[in-house]
Structure formats: C-alpha cells, structure tokens
Amino acid sequence: MSSDEHQSANTQRNMGQAEELANELTKNTVHLVSAINIATSWTVSMDDANAFAEHWKNLRLSNQHLFPKQKSKPNHHFADHIPELFQRWGPAQASATGVMSA
C-alpha cells in the first residue's frame, strides 16, 4: 500500500469514527431533551413516566460511554426516581415550563 493509499484509509477511518461520535452525541442529546420535556410537562401519564425512565436510563448509559471520566452526581441519582414521583404526586408544576410567563 502506498503512502497516499495508507493516508486515504486513515482519513476514511477517522471520518467514520467522527461520524459515529457525532451520532452518539446526537442520541445522547435527544434522550436529555426528551427526558427534560417530560419532566417539565404540565400533565403526565403512566406512559410518560415510563418514557422518562427509558430516556433517562439511555442517557445515563450513553453518558458513561461518552464521558467515562465524568462521575455521576446526586441529582442524577435523584432523577432516577422521577417516575416514582410522577406516580405519587403528578407533574412538578413548580418547575413546569411557562410558570414564569404571565
């Protein structure tokens, strides 16, 4: 393999890795935004609570993979219990979007 061919192969491999990282970061962001959207909703159902739990689980797993040196914080653990809080108390009205607009 010539040096040009070798360089081209390395460039293609690096581009593939960069594209894979971009896809993983996009999925991570989608899970974060989806979880926040549910957590700040004015109404929640059992399906919403389950969807939050699924997005949050996927976000936490993705964070461990993408940011292995970043340690989990107490608020991350607290958010694991948000579906239980939805079931017991309903949506968090005080933190729902639009509260300050009036």
**Which residues does 80 contact at the CB level (< 8 Å), separation at least 6?**
56, 60
**Number of residues in the chain:** 102
pLDDT of residue 53: 96
Average pLDDT in the 5-28 region? Answer: 78
Rounded to whole angstroms, the Cα distance separating 7 from 11 reads 6
Average pLDDT in the 37-64 region? Answer: 94
Specify if 101 maps to a domain. Answer: no
pLDDT of residue 102: 46
Pick 40 or 5 by higher pLDDT: 40
pLDDT of residue 92: 72
Specify if 18 maps to a domain. Answer: yes
The range of the structural domain enclosing residue 25 comes to 3-93
Specify if 27 maps to a domain. Answer: yes
Specify if 10 maps to a domain. Answer: yes
pLDDT of residue 43: 87
pLDDT of residue 13: 66
Rounded to whole angstroms, the Cα distance separating 85 from 14 reads 44
Rounded to whole angstroms, the Cα distance separating 41 from 79 reads 15
**Which residues does 9 contact at the CB level (< 8 Å), separation at least 6?**
1
Residue 11 has pLDDT above 80, yes or no: no
Residue 28 has pLDDT above 60, yes or no: yes
Count of the separate structural domains present in the chain:
1
Model-level pTM? 0.73
